[in-house]
Structure 1
Amino acid sequence: MDILSQFQRIFETDLEVHTDAFRTHLDRIRETDQLTPPNSTFLTIANTTTQKYDYLSENFTILTGHDRADFMAQGMPFFLQQVHPDDVQIWLGGLADIISFVMQEVSPENRLRVDVRFNFRMRMASGEYVNIIENQVPIHLDQYGKPVVGMGYVMLNGQGDPQPIQGTVRLLNDAGQYETLLHKNYSQKLLTDGLTNRERDVIRQVALGDDNETIGQKLFISKETVKTHRKNILRKLQCDNFPEVIAKIMSRGFFL
């Protein structure tokens, strides 16, 4: 099942996901899907109050080997058992840090515009581990403004080699584009640790094929500022051009 069909199935459920912010998140996810290998993603909707999955896309079993119905019935405790033992505590600690940041730094009215992204290794039914990149988009907030129901866009990425655990918080701006609020590496130092949040945003837009003027319009900065960011990125990563930048960072644990 292609990614568009998966999105359509979510809108056919009884879940209240018909918000402008949610649809804009989906537009950005569709863009990212153009940069990923085909048939490598599945969707989830998780409810932290019940510790259950309200939805898993139908290709979940094909990609992971796990029985979809059993996974939904056993919920998040079973999912945690599938996270690599070397990753799970780092990932949980990073997730707690990210949630604390969102609650302290993002106003309640903007929290449905937030996208949280993490990576970890997950065990397939075969027993082998695969690297996972997951974007979480909040759908519902509790009475305290804390996200409690979220949609996960999960990409299988690699063969299970150890990768630094990274967490990112992005916010949809008024143009419907992501701007990075926070990026943290919770493991060893990375090549990309010296990049600023804005430089990460520029790299993503370049990878999507935008020119300097379009990037400036989407990020509300001037074309000259975009050029300056691009020069700084090339200098920091010691690259001659942006195809080299994209290839270099994607091979070393950076995700767009």
Structure 2
Amino acid sequence: MNSKIISDYSEIFETYQEFRGDFLENHIEKLKELDQYIPHSNTFFCITNTTTRSFEYVSKNFQPCTGMNTEMMCNKGMTFWWEHMHPDEMSLWLQSLNDLMIFTMSEIDILDRKKVSYTWNYRIKMADGIYHPILQHTTPMYFDEEGKPIIGLAHYSLLPITGGHLPIRASAKMLNDKNEYETVFFKTYSEQKLIAEQITFRERDIIRLISFGHSTEEIADKLFISINTVTSHRRNILKKTNSKNTTELIARSIREGMI
């Protein structure tokens, strides 16, 4: 398991409070009783303990859903789960957790934090060797002295596999005065690299001129290069940035603050 992932996760949920008391044990016993009556489905739940990076309880639906061993999940904890996460999504997933924590600690009153539920998604390699999309809903059960959520009840839903894959999205919903959930945070995390990270300075000039509405011939004249060279640059830029057309390219460039 990548030690940086463990380190970054621990930093997000860092706390100096040692968890004590029978609060957790009582909840586990009640959930065990309830779990016996829950029918088999494509969802399962766990009690997450961020202070020890462990799962205090894993419901009976875990193995039917994933094909993985429940005992391994309990014994190895979160590192076992992370080992099966798609490597391309781990940094984005960590960023989403960090953003949610910053938002919670800075924007939500400490008395309201028990009313918040968090959602995010990612892909997990199941026993069949295929990465399946997972939607995770986590509701805090216990907070440390600073009001940081450290124990949670997490529900996991298996989503259908489609031709592409979902971008990672994170959200927070909070109960309002009508006892209804309102979205208070939402953000999408793209796996695409920033355009500025993929192009040369010359290609940046060409994108800027395209955004001004200049034609290929006009760009060639302004940059003192041939029309064929401009055409080649335009084709390479679209390919590098995985943009379908110049409209999408310019829209992304504006969103990323490049032009």
TM-score by length of 1: 0.59
| Deviations 1:84-120, CA, capped at 9 Å, x for gaps | 1111111111111111101100011111110110011
**Counterparts in 2 of 1:188 and 1:78: CA distance versus 1, 3 Å:** closer
Q: Are the aligned partners of 2:171 and 2:185 in contact in 1 as well (CA < 8 Å)?
A: yes
Residue 175 of structure 1 and its aligned partner are, at CA, apart by 2.1
Indicate yes or no: 2:29 matched with 1:43.
no
Preserved contact between residue 17 and residue 139 of structure 1 (Cα < 8 Å) = no
CA distance in 1, matches of 2:121, 2:72: 24
Of residues 173, 180, 185, the one that matches 2:183 is 180
**1:134 corresponding residue in structure 2:** 136
Aligned equivalents of 2:29 and 2:103: distance in 1?
Answer: 24
Matched, 1:93 2:95: yes
1:159 maps to amino acid? I
**Contact (CA 8 Å) 2:133, 2:161: kept in 1 or not?**
yes
Structure whose CA Rg is larger? 2
Distance 1:16 1:163 in 2: 33
User: How far is 1:13 from its partner?
Assistant: 6.0
Residue 112 of structure 1: aligned partner: 114
Give the equivalent residue in structure 2 for 1:144. 146
* Letter of the 2:91 counterpart: Q
**Aligned equivalents of 1:17, 1:90: Cα separation in 2:** 34
- CA change 1:165–1:155 in 2 (3 A) is same
Report the number of matched residues: 160
Cα shift at 1:128: 1.1
Cα contact 2:42–2:61 (8 A) shared by 1 = no
1:159 corresponds to? 161
Structure 1 runs not aligned, ≥5 long: 1-11, 19-37, 190-256
Matches of 2:26 and 2:191, distance apart in 1? 42
Q: What percent of counterpart residues are identical?
A: 33
SS at match of 2:154: strand
Corresponding residue for 1:82?
84
Provide the alpha-carbon RMSD of the alignment: 2.4
Structure 2 residue identity aligned to 1:97: D
Aligned-partner Cα distance in 2 for 1:103–1:17: 30
- Alpha-carbon separation, structure 2, partners of 1:13 and 1:130: 32
Query: Corresponding residue for 1:169?
Result: 172
- Contact preservation (8 Å) 2:121, 2:134: yes
2:26 is matched with which residue? 14
